Structure 1
């Protein structure tokens, strides 16, 4: 694998904070690297340094030959007055780009609803993000560096982008991406960089492998942070019990994962939570009865054309229901939450609310905190409540604040000085301390880092109320919700027994473009079951394989020894690869040395592939 981009002992200090402290790393051809870490740790700064947008205080950034590097920033800096076509293709003639199948695929994936002649200043936030992405993806740069590319994308857009980047990686080049979308990290990335405390720690694999390796490192180092360990172990337990596509990535380490989570209880006791929720909420929670909702076209002040978001919908939410909502942009997901929160009135029909319902809604904007800018984080929470019960234990406001990612110094910070991610966390805290029994969350993952998301999910696991979540974060939906429903733009609320995979299959089949065929068209297995079956038996030519004779006791013992031997060698290969990457970064300007080290890396990669194949064969015998 050719070396494309590297950092050699790079350091950078902003104000009083050292974000990068002697960091050395490298990006090789074919690498797809996910960058994670706490808000404010320096992830975006690292990307700007690697792409030459920001000069380091010390050290240097190296590029191989004429390697072209493209950066997608968090902010879509599109110049008003330019059309979409000009932003994406510059002055190129239409026949030049329209004849390229790859460019047409980008148009179909990102710009199907965007008018190419439109001024970019007239586009919505999601459309602007897709235009900025398209402008990057139609080019042929060797290294793509993306900062939060999934922001403003819906579930369908995220899935398309993941597929595109994996296919692009198979043709060469490299990818470095900062994102809090954990499903995206697992679907796309083959390595993970964790940025924290001025350093960058490398991990092999996507998010699932990163969580496992991080838990192992913490255990080996004897880390004393008990509550941080608990959250990591719970997250790992979820990964271990999750979908086959997630847990199959670090196959050769599943036994280690099983040992780490052997005594970890399920993420939540659904029966106990339902019992508690029923006691607090009563039998009736929220019922939509023959509800029709039309938006736009109401009067002269509303220039939008009339659209029917819900058409005669009857939908009942019971105590303890945990429901995720997905759907196309503009289908009315946020409006549906407003309907449940009694913020929006139906055009026809009625919304029936239980007598004991106390609903709280998390909205996408954070401006509601502006009036509290002079107060500290703890003071804002204490104004709502000083003590509350979480998971059967009483905690103070200060303890809850710390649990959701505000260390003591930040807990005493005025609200006006908080970052976007911290303000989002504070919004959630204000909702939770009010002790609602119905939570309505609109894109709760916006601006939150992966650690804070794990802490939030841990908190929601023990929350015994009715939960409705609108999100494009597939990982969050699968983690905290027991059911998913879809708004496909056809005026219905459709149940998804097969989860998000079924929604994507429906969209690919054109659902929402025509009237719904009714719930009978959704089979119990759904798309998820079919996808899982395909994933577990790639390339199989027949539905059933002939039975194999049972292994003898001696064969099993030998296979187990072989598994242990292979795992020791794989661990050693991981250490050798990390050392080689560090040496390549240190000698980035010595072409001959880099080539020699690259040959060693190739040999280790080939050995790893052979060992993993042998591990699978031995593990099958060992049981």
Structure 2
């Protein structure tokens, strides 16, 4: 493969520390590299050095003659007076970019909801970020350097970008390196990993899963490495191997070595203990939505007659496009919003906490030191293992050192503020916890630490996030807010993406009307233009009364499924504890288990039938 870009013994130092010291590395045609490391260790600085935006104190960065380099920085340099169209395609005529399938795919995939003629300065932060990313991808440089490209992208946008980068690599079109906290994205698109730490860049073969394995091996061999970090990575590896089937089927690391490393690692969560403790704290009733609707504009329901039961110890992930009604649903769960129709029944012992995106909880604490913010909290956090974590131990688990305790809150980084916010929320002793995009500003190490802490938290957990790795990691069930309804997703994120694709509402299949009109028949007739699905005719949909009855039956089936699945778990446990010499007793338990499993199968079939009917 042709060498494109290289760094030779580069060094970069700031007045208070050395970021990179004697780093040598290179990118060749076809390379797909993920860059990981703790916040502040120099990941963004490394990309800026490779892009020529920053000059190293010593050493040099070299480019092959004729090689172009493009950098997506965390702050863009777009002209606020320019229109979105000009920022993306420059002075190119409409028929020029519209006749290019690659350019159309990028624009449709990232900017379907962004007005083409609107000034950049009038865009929201997320729209502006996507505009900068689209402009870079349309240029198609030989070397792509992407710093947190998944920020402000929803699950569909992240999936589209992953597919775009994989197609680019398959064509052999240059190389790319990406910094992101989205671990699913890393594992999906990268074939090599650079870990930036302690002034060096350490290379690993393979994506995120392979990196986790290699790092566990490294930590096991190095007796001086902190045991906590090694155990945390082992737990992460255990989930990667035992979790989503799609992950374990990919030959990205040696299965035998992985199995040997995690042979003594228990499942990431003790579901039985968590449910028992959650029930003790909450009782049997948590939150039940009964035909609940919410309307902000008369005649237009954001949520339409939703029936849903949230039980003790449930760990639920919520998916949905921006504006679909996820925050409205969270408001009903936490009690900050009342339904305009229907009702919400809430258990008497429910103490809900909502970890918001805007860090509002820290606004009044900006001038205080971290120690002073934590000092009034004398309570401990009880975990499912029976351990009581003091406030100091919770902070330590979330990456705070003794030096951080004297730091004013205003001087903390974005990720540190986010972790402090989570610590304060957990120490507030809620028994229902709602997390709204909790991964913002966190690196992969801190995400693993947060997930480890949540694994032992005994309560009902509801997570809204575009980070599919996090959803699959910390929740047991996923639901989607679609067209005002709440739909269970037995197939998880993949099922959600398939549903959105079938409905023709993904951003990658929705061409903006302004751009479609501008490109005329060229865009309509060019090969590779994505098309939406034709909606079902009204006759194919059930009537209002029938639809309402189907929804009630669906909610009833979900309640029965929960009970029968709990019965199956209990029977498995009873059989495991039963006297092996009691053959008759074991046979009776086995017969009961088979009957329960058969009933579960029938309920699931009926659930699927109703789900298809309701669309």
Mapped to 1, the partners of 2:405 and 2:165 lie a distance apart of 39
Query: Which 10-residue stretch deviates more, 373-382 or 167-176?
Result: 373-382
- Determine if the alignment matches structure 1 residue 99 to structure 2 residue 93: no
Q: Which one of 389, 398, 404 corresponds to residue 392 of structure 2?
A: 398
Partner of 2:143: 143
Does the CA-based 8 Å contact 1:389-1:395 persist in structure 2?
Answer: yes
Mapped to 2, the partners of 1:5 and 1:408 lie a distance apart of 41
Mapped to 2, the partners of 1:240 and 1:497 lie a distance apart of 20
Mapped to 2, the partners of 1:220 and 1:204 lie a distance apart of 18
Partner of 1:382: 375
Query: Which 10-residue stretch deviates more, 237-246 or 325-334?
Result: 237-246
Partner of 1:418: 412
Partner of 2:342: 349
Query: CA 1:290/1:244 → structure 2, altered by over 3 Å: closer, same or farther?
Result: closer
Partner of 1:469: 463
Aligned-partner SS, 2:236: helix
Does the CA-based 8 Å contact 1:378-1:401 persist in structure 2?
Answer: no
Mapped to 2, the partners of 1:288 and 1:219 lie a distance apart of 49
Does the CA-based 8 Å contact 2:382-2:457 persist in structure 1?
Answer: no
- Determine if the alignment matches structure 1 residue 277 to structure 2 residue 271: no
Does the CA-based 8 Å contact 1:377-1:413 persist in structure 2?
Answer: yes
Partner of 2:576: none
RMSD value over aligned CA atoms? 2.0
Query: CA 1:469/1:252 → structure 2, altered by over 3 Å: closer, same or farther?
Result: closer
Partner of 2:500: 507
Aligned-partner SS, 1:374: coil
Deviations along 1:146-187, whole A, 9 cap, x unmatched? 110000110010000000001011222001100000000000
Does the CA-based 8 Å contact 2:88-2:138 persist in structure 1?
Answer: yes
Q: Give the alignment's TM-score, normalised by structure 2.
A: 0.80
Aligned-partner SS, 1:383: coil
Q: Give the alignment's TM-score, normalised by structure 1.
A: 0.79
Q: Per-residue deviation at 1:69? A: 0.5
- Determine if the alignment matches structure 1 residue 263 to structure 2 residue 257: no
Q: Per-residue deviation at 1:251? A: 5.1
Aligned-partner SS, 2:364: helix
Does the CA-based 8 Å contact 2:318-2:480 persist in structure 1?
Answer: yes
Aligned-partner SS, 1:384: coil
Aligned-partner SS, 2:141: coil
Matches within 5 A, 1:159-198: 159-171=159-171, 172-198=173-199
Q: Which one of 464, 467, 472 corresponds to residue 478 of structure 1?
A: 472
Q: Per-residue deviation at 1:197? A: 1.1
Mapped to 1, the partners of 2:499 and 2:478 lie a distance apart of 14
**Structure 1 unaligned blocks of 5 or more:** 299-305, 525-623
Q: Per-residue deviation at 1:339? A: 2.4
Query: Which 10-residue stretch deviates more, 213-222 or 376-385?
Result: 376-385
Query: CA 1:84/1:211 → structure 2, altered by over 3 Å: closer, same or farther?
Result: same
Mapped to 2, the partners of 1:197 and 1:262 lie a distance apart of 31
Deviations along 1:520-539, whole A, 9 cap, x unmatched? 999x9xxxxxxxxxxxxxxx
Partner of 1:17: 17
Partner of 1:90: 90
Q: Which one of 356, 359, 364 corresponds to residue 352 of structure 2?
A: 359
Aligned residues: 514
- Determine if the alignment matches structure 1 residue 326 to structure 2 residue 289: no
Mapped to 1, the partners of 2:251 and 2:95 lie a distance apart of 45
Does the CA-based 8 Å contact 1:208-1:249 persist in structure 2?
Answer: no
Q: Per-residue deviation at 1:351? A: 1.9
Aligned-partner SS, 1:486: strand
- Determine if the alignment matches structure 1 residue 451 to structure 2 residue 420: no
- Determine if the alignment matches structure 1 residue 206 to structure 2 residue 199: no
Partner of 2:424: 430
Query: Which 10-residue stretch deviates more, 314-323 or 247-256?
Result: 247-256
